[in-house]
Homo-oligomer: A and B are copies of this chain.
């Protein structure tokens, strides 16, 4: 049997082989094959890395033998010999996984130098200083990366020699100094490791390859993969490439360039270079690099060659490229190309302009822009330069993006007072509660010490599009004393701080803010997205202000209006409390009658803003104890206001206390117990609807019953809604349409969705609660273990941030299929936090929902993500069809020539039938 292939020369690969060759290796192959001046080399596959770990962190013989063969080929190719004392082959050994992990894994340059080959290289280059400098660098890098000797020890030796000579920079050292350094480096390696620095170049190579493979599982690489949600890779590849030198004199140099401006997106060559330098010098920042245009003056031919390469690469890759090059004695080499990282602004501009240049299709443009990155375009940001110069005093969770600068306040009341004076403030709380809503609205930013990404503060702030840093446990807050400590500093009321809600950082003092500007390109991209997407995008909004903003961002309706938010306003909370404290239906009805006109007004204004777009109104959801005061002072106040004894209020609070409020008396359970609440809310909705229809607006409200687990709960509530609708129609003499549906957020509701869909006209998945109940952990308590669960890979991502498709998604699939089995035209949506998260939106598209609903500021993200989901689904479908075609063709060929046909002949026949493009898609 033939061994599996683990080592590929650059001539053998292609850009479609990233899984096996890693990104860098695949692109080196691709460039080699399209004739770019790439120094020859070979790639050891990620599968070899997988074996390396399976074999107990060592290279097996099969891989070693294949490396030897490829090394020989490389020697032949370069007409040099590894370790030769005449004209030695030197190589770089670099990592490269399928997904870019810049700087996380190890690299060794100049490998192949030893005491003999140094002489050969001197002979060949005639540049003894260059050779010893390279040798010194190689030993240092090898000692650090491969032999684990701390790099500081080498730095010290270098510094000591420089100090002894009284010189400042390396270039001032002489050859003899470098030779001394080389032998001192070898000594320190021997002293620290007990081993000699390996003089055998083959041993050097094997050790370096082992080191690179090992670095796949070093701590920083693991953390990087976790933080960037990189999963499912089997390891890194290793690229062994013949060395070229940018430091061989003034006709040599090295640089990095982007085919377009990665910051603005402008279609203009962009980059920098240094003459007579190696790559690390550009990064180190000791010498200031020059702009790429200047190369045109220094080496016009090379520059023109580079310009052509820029064009060729973009035409070939059809994306903006980030290219590393080296000029060795006037000859240009390309060492790497990859898709360039860019700002959201640049991504949008690139995508739109490349479509206009006919480089890519609109569908390709859509998937080019990371949906989440649009956040950068919509919110104010802290000035990046100013950030670099400022002190971070604490770090919390990036709970709601954007930035805020203002005076510290410690309660909602103070926030309102300060905002009333036109001052900017930041509300700092241990945690927020529904009573803080007005203060949160008044503040420019919110900072809390407790709570996660879906805590009250985070959810409300995102809804408001307001910057929030949550769960900032670095803070020690004393709300009574109105102060907090962080990083050893004390902050008092009125002190100015700055928040970065996109990074979770808290800064001392007033940082510069940069305002968002939406370009025409953004609008263009969004229009393309709207044409491509199937999912509708609605918003979660409770106020006309939020609704207006959401419409400006493209929302097509309201998917979730939380009516309880309307209950917390100061003028209303009294009536709500009066209702709660009533002992009988009459008392409750009296109190509800006070709320009715206010809530009707809320709905009317909301309907007017939405102007015919669908509005989904969720009935009262939170447990009643959330509306009662907690502090002694407030209880006394309430007692005076209501003429009810403090004892009675306390006993009511005690009575309403719940051990597990999340699993308590809330949602529709409230209105089953107190039907008068549902009656009032129905009346408010329908009377508001009549008022709008009277004014010529077309309104079809969608009443949504929360927390339904049992169809009989729903039927109980629907009966009330229908009855009140009939009453209002008769009273007002106005006819209107409406829908009644439910949230699917209780697991029992999901698995009995067929029963519920018999009477419910729509489902909206409340994935926050569905995640809590389905997984059995509350978002308030799971902080204690969820981070570790993600670290351990039990969940790929925090299921409150990105929908847990395997588990909660399964419940959703069950609900969709059961629901549709009894009602084909059942409307399906999602209104949990996941409705604004791209991977969750793709899942919603795939399982056939009709719309997603998210906070106003995430509407553009959702529009783009929905379009991306469409494009991806279309692609998957196409690929399935192509596979079918290829499979059929293979069958046909086998039918004609017999199944003993050789693979080669089969391939030939196949390529005569099917275009290479299709074949590549099926196999890539």
Contact = CB atoms under 8 A, between A and B. Distances in A.
Contacts of A794: 672, 710, 712-713, 716
Nearest to A655: B784
A669 B792 CA distance: 12
B807 A751 contact: yes
B752 A792 contact: no
B669 A785 contact: yes
A673 interface: yes
A305 interface: no
A769 interface: yes
A776 B716 contact: no
A662 B792 CA distance: 23
Given A672-B788, A776-B769, A752 B661 contact: no
Nearest to A769: B776
A528 B707 CA distance: 46
A716 B751 contact: no
Interface string A706-734: 01011011001000000000000000000
Given A659-B781, A663-B781, A672-B792, A806 B752 contact: yes
A716 B807 contact: no
A52 interface: no
Contacts of A458: none
A69 to B, nearest CB: 40
A659 B780 contact: yes
A897 interface: no
A662 B746 CA distance: 15
B665 A663 contact: no
A593 interface: no
Interface string A756-767: 000000000000
A792 B714 CA distance: 12
B778 A747 contact: no
A772 interface: yes
A795 interface: yes
Given A672-B785, A672-B788, A789-B672, A664 B748 contact: no
A774 B746 CA distance: 7
A784 B672 contact: no
A814 B807 CA distance: 13
Interface in A836-893: none
Interface in A30-55: none
A902 interface: no
A224 interface: no
A658 B781 contact: yes
Interface string A645-678: 0000000000000111111110001001100000
A634 interface: no
Contacts of A663: 660, 662-663, 772-773, 776-778, 781-782
A175 interface: no
Contacts of A709: 774-776, 807
A627 to B, nearest CB: 16
Contacts of A712: 792-795
Given A663-B781, A792-B716, A748 B774 contact: yes
A707 B789 CA distance: 14
A155 interface: no
Given A662-B660, A713-B794, A752-B806, A746 B769 contact: no
A512 interface: no
A342 to B, nearest CB: 36
Given A712-B793, A776-B707, A808 B662 contact: no
A492 interface: no
A536 interface: no
A665 B785 contact: yes
Nearest to A713: B794
A790 to B, nearest CB: 11
Contacts of A748: 774-776, 804, 807-808, 811
A417 to B, nearest CB: 31
Contacts of A672: 785, 788-789, 792, 794
A810 interface: yes
A747 B776 contact: yes
Contacts of A780: 658-660
A915 to B, nearest CB: 39
A139 to B, nearest CB: 40
A180 interface: no
Interface in A779-829: 780-782, 784-785, 788-789, 792-795, 804, 806-808, 810-811, 814
Nearest to A783: B665
A755 interface: yes
Contacts of A746: 774-776
B747 A781 contact: no
A778 B659 contact: yes
Interface string A82-109: 0000000000000000000000000000
The listed residue with most B CB atoms (<10 A of its CB), out of A663, A665, A710, is: A663
Given A748-B807, A748-B808, A788-B673, A664 B710 contact: no
Nearest to A665: B784
A751 B788 CA distance: 23
Contacts of A661: 659-660, 781
A716 B792 CA distance: 9
B710 A778 contact: no
A745 B807 CA distance: 14
A710 B799 CA distance: 12
Contacts of A785: 665, 669, 672-673
In the complex, the 7 A-B pairs of residues with the closest C-beta atoms, listed nearest first:
A747-B747, A663-B778, A748-B807, A660-B778, A746-B776, A664-B781, A659-B780
Given A664-B782, A709-B774, 20 more contacts: A658-B780, A661-B781, A664-B777, A664-B781, A665-B782, A673-B785, A707-B776, A709-B807, A712-B794, A712-B795, A713-B789, A716-B794, A745-B776, A747-B747, A747-B773, A748-B775, A751-B807, A751-B811, A752-B810, A755-B806
8 contacts: A659-B780, A663-B777, A664-B782, A672-B794, A746-B774, A746-B775, A747-B775, A751-B814
